[in-house]
Structure 1
Amino acid sequence: MTAYDELMAYQRETEALAEIAGRLGWDQETMMPRGAAAQRAEEMGALETVLHARRTDARMGDWLAAIDDAALDAVGQANMRHIRRSYARATRLPETLSAELARVTSRAQGIWAEARQADDVAHFLPMLREVVRLKREEAAALADGGDLYDALLDDYEPGATGGEIAAMFDRMRDRLVMLRERVMGAGRAPAALSGHFPEAGQMKLSHEIAERFGYDWRHGRLDKSVHPFTSGSGTDVRITTRVDEGEPLGCFYSTIHEVGHACYEQNIAPAYHGTPLGHGVSMGVHESQSRIYENQLGRSRAFTGFLFDRMRDVFGSAGAADADAFYAAVNRVHAGFIRTEADEVHYNLHVMLRFDLERQLIEGALEVDDLESAWNERFEHDFGVAVDRPSNGVLQDVHWSVGLFGYFPTYSLGNVYAGCLNLALQAAVPDLEAELAKGHTQGATAWLRENVQGHGGLYRPAEVIERACGFAPNEGPLLDYLDAKFGALYGV
């Protein structure tokens, strides 16, 4: 065997162990007994110790030194790009820090869920202080004298910087605020859905919607969790959603969102499974799939017309008078508290808030004890509404409890990528609206599978989007789409 063959055989075992760690995380959020949290934390810490040892094994350095990347084909070179990057990052982190992070974040996740349910910030703050302390240590080790936040962001969007993200947000903010002001001042207030929508019906229709968007049930399952998420890759990709019997859209659109993530993982070329190319290339590209499935496709006038009819079939009522009223309810603009339930006009403003706060936390400009007041002050400034309880404010997201600092800005980057992809998709599939009106998404999902999903980690993030669209990714198409859609809906 060549050094490359030996390295890839070793890497496949490491990838398999990482999938096992992911399955433990899935179980913790869906099936695990509540009393098992402490034991699970120890299990996660032990497994992370094994993974860290493998990722920093001296043989890795020997193999990497022996391999001439230029002698490999494009797939081999892409594998080496990912492995070299991962090895460089892993060798900067002490094994004890990696294991402690896994243990602490596993425990913190359960305490966050308890605090969120009880609306008790004080119950969560001691654990969050510990998570932030460890993430600052991790950032310092990874940054090697560079920017702390950039070091964490690189885990989710390789090559991106906090400065670039902040500049993009600055360019977006004025147009988003102006659109929001026009919409909120239009004098139109579409009604939310009203009625009772039993859980069994919501889950039945969610299963159907997931299948219509291409989710492969032979290699997946749908469960409930506090915060909807996707877990796994290749032939085992699982999704979750949540149910409110008075508000079914949260269930349906959380499902569509997670199906976008899941289809990305399910549709990666099988030859890449078990390798660094067998995952989505970045969280920004991942979010482009979940957001285009959820918004440009799922919230379109065409698809909501189909969903309106199916809701009447399942529930006897869709909670709205007609398909137009239903479309308006699905896309209703309102200054709500919850990011995952936010309309497209407000959504990126939610992300900008979190990005600024977490960047300050990592840099030490904001301390955990001051986080709730900073959140509430910023939210009221940005949204014009005072936070009424912690579960609608600083406790609403799971991300910080599990140490995902640097993750939030990829949501908006995903929206930007989705705006670009939607522009190209509309040109490539001219009968898209007619098909969506019938509940058929195959034209859109096939195009995304061919142009984005199948590549996995073969190309760099921005390169994936540019190859699919024919132009470099930028925020213009997203902002134009939002102006056109909500301008028409609200007559502004």
Structure 2
Amino acid sequence: MTAFPDLIAFQRDTEALAQVMGRLGWDQETMMPRGAAEQRADEMAALEGVLHARRTDPRLADWLDRADAPDAEGARMLALIRRAHARATCIPARLAAEIARLTSLSQGIWAEARARDEVDHFLPTLRQVVMLKREAAQALCEGTEAATAYDALLEEYEPETTAEEIAAIFDRMRPRLVALRDRILGSGRIVAPLKGEFPQDGQLRLARKMAEAFGYDFTRGRLDLAVHPFSSGSGADVRITTRVVEADPFNCLYSTIHETGHACYEQNIAPAFALTVLGQGVSMGVHESQSRIYENQLGRSAPFTGWIFRQMQAEFGSFGIETPEEFHATVNRVQPGFIRTEADEVHYNLHIMMRFDLERDLVSGALDVADLEEAWNDRFLADFGVAVDRPAHGLLQDVHWSVGLFGYFPTYSLGNVYAGCLMAALRRDVPDLDARLARGDTAAATGWLRERLQQHGGLYAPREVIARATGAAPDEGPLLDYLDAKFGAIYGL
């Protein structure tokens, strides 16, 4: 009779400890003194040991066998706890702690290598990370239904999806993306980049205004600076970070809007789900759908960029762009570039497809870490027609592999696909959306997302929550149609 409440009470403490570990990660990327790296690695390893012991506690199996769910929410909790328990019991405690320790150290080594533009400073550590993740993937393959080592890692970020399914989506997307890019670059239309100096204080004031405009609750969060922007936490403590380049305010503003999308998803989950397995985003693909729809379909739309244009004029004065239409084109300027996080919407998914292929080969052993930089540079030249000029613009640009996030990258493009579906349904249901956005009013859009998707947290499977929100199974068509229409108008195609 007490199995279900005992299980949920135990799980609540596990979720709370996981939030503490997340806060340590946030501190490491924002506030931690550089000299604390080795001690923090030991702290992370120790806490991971505690969490792993709880996630593999023999009582969990007993409770799961005896627990009767009181309702549909309870049944979903049992399913998610059962899946997490099965995965955790595949991984030896020694391996879980070592991955936590090494990836904590690796993050700092990656940051140093990136700052110094020295790949060789990072590759020995990356090799160790890859070896540990291969070991974990193999253990998961042996103990779960994962068909491949990569699928076993992907399951952590996008449940119920396989690499084969993602590859098929990418194969369908690539021809239309490449064709659109070629038409844009061959159009003869030149969109000038933004030029000037935009002081950090002004950028951060505008960044805070952007977050507030999209509904971020600063009484339950904060905005800080980080090398690689991210969002952290859930429930009553959800933090975001951004970065500042004084010659490129779009980097700061749109990183902030992007992370606000992630944070609002977490802040808007039903309070009753707090510190349960339902109290967080259901997958990284769904999570990314929120950050991308905030950043791109809403934040880079013509009506909303008109509002941003006025805010930037008020903050910085004249900066060489005279009209909202010109500003909208500049915000959405299409040009091959090295950096994924700065890529326009046409090129972005091509960056992800490249990383997806490379990391699958790393996990399978088809690609050795020693050959990764050459493979990256060759593939980038083939896909983008530009030779990588320095490691910080190539292999060293992303933090993900340094912290062991293999299987994470494809969820960015899945998020774009989901966002395309959501935006089509949002426009159908909110006919005056553009008039609202032109006033800087996102309430109708963010309210629709909160009610249709965000409040549910982990209650529904990833594709199910998108289908429930939109009324149709997700597919890439709406995203590609949106890109064709938007950039066709900007570039006169």
TM-score, L = length of structure 2: 0.99
Report what 1:305 is aligned to. Answer: 306
Distance in 1 (alpha carbons) for counterparts of 2:30 and 2:333: 31
Distance in 2 (alpha carbons) for counterparts of 1:68 and 1:267: 28
Is residue 2:124 matched to residue 1:123? Answer: no
Distance in 2 (alpha carbons) for counterparts of 1:39 and 1:463: 42
Report what 1:245 is aligned to. Answer: 246
Is residue 2:384 matched to residue 1:383? Answer: yes
Report what 2:434 is aligned to. Answer: 433
Contact 2:49 2:93 in 1 (8 A): yes
**Amino acid aligned to 1:16:** A
Report what 1:175 is aligned to. Answer: 176
Secondary structure of the equivalent of 2:400?
coil
Distance in 2 (alpha carbons) for counterparts of 1:305 and 1:419: 22
Distance in 2 (alpha carbons) for counterparts of 1:11 and 1:287: 26
Alignment of 1:13-162 (within 5 A): 13-69=13-69, 72-144=70-142, 146-162=147-163
Distance in 1 (alpha carbons) for counterparts of 2:147 and 2:312: 53
**Amino acid aligned to 1:401:** S
Distance in 1 (alpha carbons) for counterparts of 2:111 and 2:78: 39
Deviation of 1:196 after TM superposition, in Å, equals: 1.0
Distance in 1 (alpha carbons) for counterparts of 2:209 and 2:399: 27
Distance in 1 (alpha carbons) for counterparts of 2:312 and 2:95: 50
**Amino acid aligned to 2:384:** F
Contact 2:42 2:101 in 1 (8 A): yes
Report what 1:263 is aligned to. Answer: 264
Deviation of 1:146 after TM superposition, in Å, equals: 3.2
Report what 1:8 is aligned to. Answer: 8
Contact 2:4 2:68 in 1 (8 A): no
Contact 1:180 1:345 in 2 (8 A): yes
Deviation of 1:322 after TM superposition, in Å, equals: 1.6
Moved over 2 A (4+): none
TM-score, L = length of structure 1: 0.99
Distance in 2 (alpha carbons) for counterparts of 1:204 and 1:318: 17
Q: How many residues align?
A: 490
Contact 1:451 1:468 in 2 (8 A): yes
**Amino acid aligned to 1:364:** G
Contact 2:242 2:252 in 1 (8 A): yes
Worse-matched range after superposition: 310-319 or 246-255: 310-319
| Partner deviation per Cα, 1:33-85 (whole Å, 9 max, x = no partner) | 0010000000000000000000000111110111245xx31110111111000
Contact 2:214 2:443 in 1 (8 A): yes
Distance in 2 (alpha carbons) for counterparts of 1:448 and 1:318: 34
**Unaligned residue ranges in structure 2 (runs of 5+):** none
Distance in 1 (alpha carbons) for counterparts of 2:119 and 2:440: 43
Contact 1:299 1:327 in 2 (8 A): yes
Is residue 2:370 matched to residue 1:369? Answer: yes
**Amino acid aligned to 2:291:** S
Report what 1:344 is aligned to. Answer: 345
Distance in 1 (alpha carbons) for counterparts of 2:105 and 2:10: 30
**Unaligned residue ranges in structure 1 (runs of 5+):** none
| Partner deviation per Cα, 1:58-117 (whole Å, 9 max, x = no partner) | 111110111245xx3111011111100000000010000000000000000000000000
Report what 1:206 is aligned to. Answer: 207
Contact 1:308 1:318 in 2 (8 A): no
Contact 1:257 1:290 in 2 (8 A): yes
Contact 1:260 1:290 in 2 (8 A): yes
Secondary structure of the equivalent of 1:258?
helix
